[in-house]
A and B are shown apart, each in its own frame.
Chain A
C-alpha cells in the first residue's frame, strides 16, 4: 500500500453528451502529498474530483483510487475518503453537532464513537461553542469549516477539497489554510482544486494546471514558476493605458525577457525587476504606477494560456 499511489489515472475522460469536461488526463498522487488542481472555472477540475470521489463514472480511461476500482468498489473506496464539495451541502434540519454525528453514522460508526469524534472535530475547526446551534446562522467561513470537519469524521486516508476557500473573506481563508496545513502535517493526503494561485502556493506540494479539460503543466509551485515565468514581474500602469497598452508594449521591446500587455496594465517579465524598471525610465516612459513583485502561478497560467485565471 505504501508504495502504490492513492490516485492513479491514465487517459481519464469525462463527457456530458457532446461536451468533454475532462479530456484524457494522467495523474498520480502519492500518500502524504498535498496535490492541487489549478485552473479557471470550467477547466474540468470539479468533474475530475467527482470521479476521484467515486460519485461520477468515467466515460473512458483507467482510474484506481486507494488501489481499488471505483466502478466495482465505490462503496469501499468512499468509506476511506473525506469529501468537501464546492457548495456547502450541510443539513439545515440538524444542529451543527448533529451534522457531524449523523454523517459519522453513514460510515458505520457507533453512536458513542460518532459523538466523540464530533466533539473532537468541532474543537479542531473551532466551532465547539456553536455545537447546539443550527447551521443557517453560521458565517460562510464557519460553514466551510464545518463541512471540512464533516469530511474528516471517518478519519479518511484521502481528503478531497473542491475550492475550499472560494467566496470567503481573507481572514476566514487564512484560518482555513492554517487548519488544512495542520492536517497536512499530520500526514493526511490532501487533494484540492482552486483558482487562487496563492492558495495553491500555500498548500500544494505539487499541482497540475488544467485548462479546457486537459493538463497543460505540472510540477511544484516553485518549479512551475521557474519553468514558465521569470523570478520577478514588473507591473506598469499608464495614465492613458487601456487602449494604448499595446503601443507601450512595443516601446518596451527588449526590456526583460517578455512583455505582456493586459487591458489594464503591462507586465514585464524579468529576473531583476528593479533593473528592468531603470531601463523603462531610461527610455523616457512615465508609468503612473509601478509594482515589482515575485512571480506567481497566475503568471504561469497567463504564459501557458494567454488568459488570466480569474476573470
Chain B
C-alpha cells in the first residue's frame, strides 16, 4: 500500500499500486476456482497456433518463398509474427471484453469494489495488467514454438516479447473501453466480426502493398496492422525508425482506452 490516507486532495487521488494489486489478486483467486476458466485460457492459445500450422505451413508449401521489402523469407516466417501479434490481441481481449463485461454488468463485482477505497482507474489498471499477464502466457509459448520451428531466433524472440506485451496492453485497454459500451451479450457479435476483419486484413496473410491503394491506406489506419508490423519487424530483425510510429499508435490506444474505461466505470457505477 503506497498511498497514505492523508486529508490532502493531492495525495488521495494518487493511484495506489497496492489497490491495483488487490484488483489483480481477485482475478488470481477466481482463476484457481474452477476448470471452466482454464478452458477459456487454453482456447485463446490454440487458435493462432492452428492458423500458423494450416495456413503458414500448409498454404506456405504452395506459395513458396516470399519477397517483402527486398527480403526473401518463407511464407511461414511471414505469417508467424502476425499470428503472434494476433495471439497477443485475442488473449488479452478475451479477458477485457467477456470476463470484464460479466464482472461489470452481471456479477456486480465492480460495484462491490467501488464501495472500498479502490477507484475506477485502479480497477481499469488492475484488470488490464491481469489481462496482459494472462495474454503474455500465450505469446511466450507461441514464441518458443516459433523458435523451435526455426521461424525466428531465440534472441529475436526475446526482443519481440516486450512488443507483444505492448500489443496486449493496447488491445486490452481499447477492448475494456468498448466493453463499457456493450448493452448485452448480442453486442459481442459485432466485436467478433470486427476482430475477425482485423485478423484477415492487417497484413497478416499477405503484404498490405498487394492491396489497392485505398485499402492499403484503410488498413494502415486500423490497430492490428501496427501490431503486426511492429512484431514482424522484431521477429525478422528488421527494426527501423518507422517502428516508432507503431509504438506511438499502440501507446495512444493504451492511454485512450484506460482513460475512457475508467470514465465510463465512474459514470455507470458512481451515480
Contact = CB atoms under 8 A, between A and B. Distances in A.
A106 interface: yes
A108 B111 CA distance: 18
B116 A78 contact: yes
A216 interface: no
A196 B19 CA distance: 37
Given A106-B116, A107-B117, A93 B30 contact: yes
A173 interface: no
Interface string A80-97: 010101010111111100
A105 B111 contact: no
Interface stretch (B4-12, B55-63, B207-215, B248-256): B4-12
Interface centre among A89, A93, A102 (most CB of B within 10 A): A93
A95 to B, nearest CB: 7
B269 interface: yes
Interface stretch (B21-29, B90-98, B235-243): B21-29
Nearest to B106: A92
Contacts, number: 91
A75 B112 contact: no
B43 interface: no
A106 B19 contact: yes
B113 interface: yes
Interface size bracket, B side = 35 or more
Contacts of A85: 111-112, 115
Contact of B116 (A16, A68, A94, A107): A107
A78 B12 CA distance: 11
A91 B115 contact: no
Contact of B117 (A95, A108, A150): A108
A131 B101 CA distance: 28
B117 A79 contact: yes
Contacts of A154: 116
B115 A53 contact: yes
B117 A94 contact: no
A85 B108 CA distance: 11
B118 interface: yes
A87 B7 CA distance: 31
A94 B29 contact: yes
B119 interface: yes
Interface in A53-106: 53, 55-57, 68, 72-76, 78-79, 81, 83, 85, 87, 89-95, 98, 102-103, 105-106
B155 interface: no
A72 B12 contact: yes
Given A94-B33, A105-B25, A89 B107 contact: yes
B39 interface: no
B109 interface: yes
A107 B115 CA distance: 10
B34 interface: yes
Contact of B29 (A72, A98, A134): A98
Interface of A: 16, 53, 55-57, 68, 72-76, 78-79, 81, 83, 85, 87, 89-95, 98, 102-103, 105-108, 134, 150, 154
17 contacts: A55-B115, A56-B271, A68-B7, A72-B9, A73-B7, A73-B9, A78-B115, A79-B116, A81-B115, A85-B112, A90-B112, A91-B112, A102-B26, A102-B29, A106-B22, A107-B117, A108-B1
Interface of B: 1, 3, 5-7, 9, 12-13, 16, 18-19, 21-23, 25-26, 29-30, 33-34, 107-109, 111-119, 269-271
